[in-house]
């Protein structure tokens, strides 16, 4: 069955060579009880370790079942120890944080046997050694004899061909020693049992064969006096493998026995996670707040297309191409600081039609500002007067009722939609400037007005055909305010139908506190005035005659430049409400992404055109600046938190190394049971993985708890609520990061553990 052919084993201590075994030749049958005797240091344990594959011979060959082991790899030796050998040690080597049954199951666990089968076979092995009722106890709850029986049960669990017992009675009293040797004698009827002992009496009484060693050589070898050898058939040897679940179970049990240290280690490791989690949470909440603030800002900083756009660039000036940035010379140049370029946009009805085809899902509203004057009149105490639309804060509502009503609440009456409906806009305190009350003909010294006092209030809009009258010479003049003008049936009567106020969570108000009207009124007055006599005549005369002065339009040079006849003509059309095309277009995008798509759409209009339409985007600079600031602050804070995370990772590595030192005997035991180097490494990687998981969970929990007082403090100081937001995705990422970093930190200690010599590990005190 096993044949040792000229086996030698040398140890090197510095420059000195120690010959532990010298040309040993032995053969063992498949079932006999062999006792190896000899003084300390004669090579008994070394011989046993070579038989069990724990130690490697220096020369010679170990032949197992007619197969040479001279070319065995580590994995072959691991499989051999797991499938063919069972070790019984003098010091038992039971893992204290596992139950008796779990200790017995270890070899099967490494062999990949199912959980159900492991339990059944462990119970059977414990029954054989008389410990069925001790299965769920811990090793420290057993006597010395009971612990040795457990180690024997562990050795038998995988039905090995060989049982190797190293001083199995060395730590036991004589009575218990006989019980253990009786058990080994019974086992030897079915398999080979090799026992190293100093007790010559027990060897002579129980062994079927005695081998005596002296100074690494065989002194004597008695003949086999036992029963005839019985060949035990074995299938092909499979390689051992420890699953991650098994590694986690072993590590989890070890950590559970050191709960306080584990918790303190996890807490220390979680500090970096807490910092990063809070930084990410605050950054996320702040980014959300800034994004919303920027979206609200889009209401005040929309894309603007005006008739004249001026671009400034202080780094450019004509005929200065020779300038280079950061010159290496001792010269200072004066330059003219002035606008570089002024562009005139010719906003046509064709362009407006093109803009109307823009996807409405990209914007909240498009406002076309027309250059014309509203001639408004009010009556108060039998007096009639024109009112200033600017003082009245007469403003057009955005052409999107749904969006407007999402930003402004109707606190009284109804939202104005018809051309003859208007609304009063109040601030958050329900206030309107006294100047507006005065223009409306109301007593601005009065303490307050009720909603009913204001709803139904009337203002009259005077169209061209009422305001302008033709003289005998063909020119027109504007009529003064009077009862006749006020009571003309052609006037448009505007009634206050509602009172608007922005919602509390509306960040930016884009309506002034005054009077607002719908786009329908703009369309109606443009239609009415466009059909008026004064506008028709002015369009017919063109530049040849100003219908107000009777003189032709001419160019005029002033101190500020030349005013062209065309400019004067267009200005007159604006005065009398005959200018139909927009003087300015404001586009209110829904998001910054949709704003970029709108800009692409506007750019597409200019392709192949000489007269291009340019726009200004004042919100872009703002958003880029804020985005850079938030990103920079976030990176700095994450860097500081990362330092603590790095320090905690180093600490995890140190703790894992300490754990390796504490569990050296366990490492030796696992290797004796057939665990591979990678399995040992996996045990400690699993330990760091568990610590990382606990640290991640603890860090996220503490960060979540800390977010409440942090939010209270931030809200108290800035009035911004719920800034620190711990998101589930952040938690998953950071727990994963914690596990990854602890695994990396534990890699080196785990490799150190894997490289431990099993023989040295078992001997370590």
**Cβ-based neighbours of 576, under 8 Å, separated by 6 or more:** 372, 464, 468, 529, 532, 534, 535, 538, 547
Give, as one character, the DSSP assignment of residue 717: H
Angle in degrees, CA 502, 451, 364, rounded to 5? 25
- In this prediction, residue 159 carries a pLDDT of 82
What's the pLDDT tens digit per position in 487-533? 999 999 999 999 999 988 776 677 889 999 998 998 898 889 889 99
pLDDT at residue 444 is higher than 60: yes
What's the pLDDT tens digit per position in 43-94? 888 899 899 888 889 999 999 888 889 888 888 888 888 888 888 888 888 8
Per-residue confidence band for 423, with pLDDT thresholds at 50, 70 and 90: very high
Angle in degrees, CA 295, 298, 300, rounded to 5? 130
Buried b (16+ CB within 10 A) or exposed e, 171-201: bbeeebbbbbbebbbebbeebbbbbbbebee
Q: What is the pTM of this model?
A: 0.51
What's the pLDDT tens digit per position in 289-333? 766 666 666 556 788 888 777 665 544 444 445 566 667 777 776
- In this prediction, residue 662 carries a pLDDT of 73
Return the closest-CA partner of residue 85 out of 53, 114, 117: 53
Rounded CA separation 402/408 (Å): 10
Evaluate the CA torsion angle 648, 651, 655, 657 in order and state its sign. positive
pLDDT at residue 726 is higher than 70: yes
pLDDT at residue 228 is higher than 50: no
Per-residue confidence band for 34, with pLDDT thresholds at 50, 70 and 90: very high
- In this prediction, residue 276 carries a pLDDT of 79
Among the ranges given (297-306, 427-436, 690-699), the one the predictor scored with the smallest mean pLDDT: 297-306
Mean pLDDT of 689-708: 86
Maximum C-alpha span of the chain = 152
**Cβ-based neighbours of 288, under 8 Å, separated by 6 or more:** 725
**Cβ-based neighbours of 226, under 8 Å, separated by 6 or more:** 31, 32, 33, 188, 208, 209
Strands (E), 14-58: 16-28, 33-37
- In this prediction, residue 229 carries a pLDDT of 35
- In this prediction, residue 380 carries a pLDDT of 80
- Helix count and strand count (H, E) for the chain: 25, 27
Per-residue confidence band for 624, with pLDDT thresholds at 50, 70 and 90: low
Q: Which two tokens stand for residue 482?
A: 């009077």
**Cβ-based neighbours of 686, under 8 Å, separated by 6 or more:** 244, 247, 248, 250, 251, 252
Rounding to the nearest 10 degrees, give the CA dihedral for residues 80, 82, 85, 89: 130
Per-residue confidence band for 235, with pLDDT thresholds at 50, 70 and 90: very low
Rounded CA separation 555/317 (Å): 30
Q: What is the mean pLDDT of the chain?
A: 82
Most confident of 288-292, 381-385, 443-447, 462-466: 462-466
Q: Are 580 and 370 in contact (CB under 8 A)?
A: yes
Alpha helices in 56-172 (DSSP H): 74-84, 100-110, 115-128, 144-156
Rounded CA separation 155/48 (Å): 15
pLDDT at residue 340 is higher than 60: no
pLDDT at residue 227 is higher than 50: no
pLDDT at residue 242 is higher than 70: no
Cα atoms found within 13 Å of the Cα of residue 433, Cβ hemisphere only:
12
- In this prediction, residue 224 carries a pLDDT of 46
Among the ranges given (2-6, 237-241, 588-592), the one the predictor scored with the smallest mean pLDDT: 237-241
């Amino acid at each position: 069955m096993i044949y040792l052919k000229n086996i030698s084993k040398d140890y090197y201590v510095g420059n000195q060579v120690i010959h532990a075994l010298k040309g040993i030749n032995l053969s063992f049958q498949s079932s006999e009880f062999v006792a190896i005797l000899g003084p300390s240091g004669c090579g008994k344990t070394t011989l046993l370790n070579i038989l069990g594959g724990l130690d490697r011979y220096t020369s010679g060959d170990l032949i197992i079942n007619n197969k040479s082991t001279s070319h065995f790899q580590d994995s072959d030796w691991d499989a051999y120890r797991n499938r063919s050998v069972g070790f019984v040690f003098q010091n038992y080597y039971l893992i204290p944080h596992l139950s008796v049954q779990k200790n017995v199951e270890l070899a099967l666990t490494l062999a990949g046997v199912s959980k159900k089968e492991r339990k059944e076979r462990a119970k059977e092995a414990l029954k054989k050694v008389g410990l069925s009722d001790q299965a769920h106890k811990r090793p420290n709850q057993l006597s010395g004899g009971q612990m040795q029986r457990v180690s024997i049960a562990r050795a038998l669990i995988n039905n090995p061909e060989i049982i190797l017992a190293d001083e199995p009675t060395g730590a036991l009293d004589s009575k218990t020693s006989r019980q253990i040797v009786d058990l080994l004698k019974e086992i030897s009827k079915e398999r080979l049992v090799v026992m190293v002992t100093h007790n010559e009496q027990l060897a002579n009484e129980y062994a079927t064969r005695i081998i005596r060693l002296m100074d690494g050589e065989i002194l004597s070898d008695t003949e086999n006096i036992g029963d005839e050898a019985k060949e035990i058939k074995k299938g092909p040897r499979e390689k051992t493998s420890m699953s991650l679940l098994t590694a986690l179970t072993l590590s989890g049990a070890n950590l559970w026995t050191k709960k306080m240290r584990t918790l303190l280690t996890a807490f220390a490791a979680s500090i970096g996670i807490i910092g990063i989690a809070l930084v990410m949470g605050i950054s996320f909440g702040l980014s959300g707040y800034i994004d919303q603030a920027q979206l609200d800002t889009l209401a005040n900083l929309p894309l603007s297309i005006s008739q004249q756009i001026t671009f400034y660039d202080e780094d450019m000036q004509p005929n200065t191409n020779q300038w280079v940035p950061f010159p290496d010379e001792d010269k200072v140049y004066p330059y003219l600081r002035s606008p570089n370029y002024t562009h005139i946009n010719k906003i046509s009805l064709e362009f407006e039609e093109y803009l109307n085809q823009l996807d409405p899902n990209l914007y909240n509203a498009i406002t076309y500002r027309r250059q014309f004057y509203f001639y408004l009149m009010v009556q108060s105490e039998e007096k009639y007067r024109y009112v200033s639309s600017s003082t009245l804060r007469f403003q057009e509502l955005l052409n999107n009722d749904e969006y407007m009503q999402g930003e402004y609440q109707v606190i009284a009456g109804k939202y104005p939609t018809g051309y003859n409906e208007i609304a009063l806009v109040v601030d958050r305190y329900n206030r309107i400037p006294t100047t507006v009350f005065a223009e409306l003909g109301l007593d601005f010294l009065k303490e307050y007005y009720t909603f009913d006092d204001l709803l139904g209030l009337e203002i009259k809009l005077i169209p061209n055909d009422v305001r302008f009258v033709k003289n005998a010479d063909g020119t027109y003049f504007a009529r003064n305010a009077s009862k006749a003008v006020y009571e003309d049936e052609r006037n448009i009567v505007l009634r206050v139908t509602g009172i608007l106020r922005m919602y509390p969570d509306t960040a930016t108000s884009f309506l002034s506190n005054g009077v607002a009207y719908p786009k329908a009124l703009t369309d109606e007055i443009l239609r009415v005035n466009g059909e008026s006599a004064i506008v028709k005549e002015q369009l017919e005369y063109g530049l040849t005659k100003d219908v107000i002065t009777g003189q032709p339009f001419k160019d005029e040079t002033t101190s500020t430049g030349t005013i062209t006849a065309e400019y004067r003509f267009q200005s007159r059309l604006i005065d009398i409400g005959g200018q139909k095309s927009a003087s300015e277009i404001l586009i209110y995008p829904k998001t910054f992404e949709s704003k970029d798509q709108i800009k692409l759409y506007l750019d597409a209009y200019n392709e192949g055109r000489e007269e291009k339409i340019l726009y200004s985007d004042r919100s872009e600079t703002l958003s880029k600046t804020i985005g850079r600031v938030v990103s920079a602050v976030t990176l700095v804070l994450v860097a500081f938190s990362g330092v603590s995370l790095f320090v905690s990772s180093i600490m995890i590595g140190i703790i894992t190394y300490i754990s390796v030192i504490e569990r050296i005997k366990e490492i030796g035991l696992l290797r004796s049971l057939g665990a591979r180097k990678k399995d040992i490494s996996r045990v400690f990687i699993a330990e760091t993985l568990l610590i990382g998981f606990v640290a991640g969970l603890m860090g996220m929990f503490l960060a979540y708890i800390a977010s409440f007082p942090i939010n209270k403090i931030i809200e108290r100081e800035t009035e911004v609520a719920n800034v620190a937001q711990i998101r589930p995705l952040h938690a998953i990422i950071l727990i994963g990061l914690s596990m990854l970093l602890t695994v990396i930190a534990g890699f080196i200690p785990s490799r150190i553990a894997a490289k431990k010599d099993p023989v040295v590990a078992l001997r370590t005190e």
